Structure 1
Amino acid sequence: MELITIKKARVESDLVILKSRLESEGIECFLKNEFTTQLMNYIPTFEIELQVRESDLEKVRKIMSGIENSQDNLI
């Protein structure tokens, strides 16, 4: 199983909404470095990575594109 990073952040809360949205669509998500950043938060180079299975990547792209398009319509 190959995992692909789709978004990075220094704080987990920056990824929570997207992670929840993807999981509501049946896509399993993984947070890489989640605990490392909590333990070593004084080192700014660590980032949490939101990852999905490579097999889900096309579905993820469609969802993320839909999110971006809906945000553009708010402006």
Structure 2
Amino acid sequence: MNLVTIKKSRTEIDLLVLKSRLESEGIKCYLKNEFTTQLMNYIPTFEVELQVSTSDLEVVNRIMTETESNYNATLN
């Protein structure tokens, strides 16, 4: 299985909402560097990466677009 990074952050918490949303749609997600950033959070070069399978990428892009649209609508 080939994985692709869809979003990066210095803290895991920034990715958990999107990860939860994707998993609710049956998409397996992985957090690369999850534990490294927890142990070495003082080094700014480490980032947590939310990754999904390349075969799920089309569905993931649709969900991310919908989620962003819903977020922007609540701001207006």
**1:8 and 1:26 mapped to 2: Cα distance?**
21
**1:11 and 1:5 mapped to 2: Cα distance?**
15
Give structure 1 stretches of 5+ with no counterpart. none
Other structure's SS at 2:31 match: strand
**1:32 and 1:63 mapped to 2: Cα distance?**
21
1:72 CA displacement: 2.1
Tell me the residue number matched to 1:30: 30
Give structure 2 stretches of 5+ with no counterpart. none
The alignment yields a C-alpha RMSD, in angstroms, of 0.7
Q: Percent identical across equivalent pairs?
A: 67
Equivalenced residue count is: 75
- State the 4+ residue runs in structure 1 displaced beyond 3 angstroms: none
Residue range with higher mean Cα deviation, 25-34 or 65-74: 65-74
Query: What amino acid is aligned across from residue 29 of structure 1 in structure 2?
Result: C
**Structure 1 length normalisation: TM-score?**
0.96
**Structure 2 length normalisation: TM-score?**
0.95
Other structure's SS at 1:73 match: helix
Tell me the residue number matched to 1:56: 56
**1:5 and 1:26 mapped to 2: Cα distance?**
17
1:70 CA displacement: 1.1
Query: What amino acid is aligned across from residue 7 of structure 1 in structure 2?
Result: K
Tell me the residue number matched to 2:69: 69
**1:34 and 1:68 mapped to 2: Cα distance?**
24
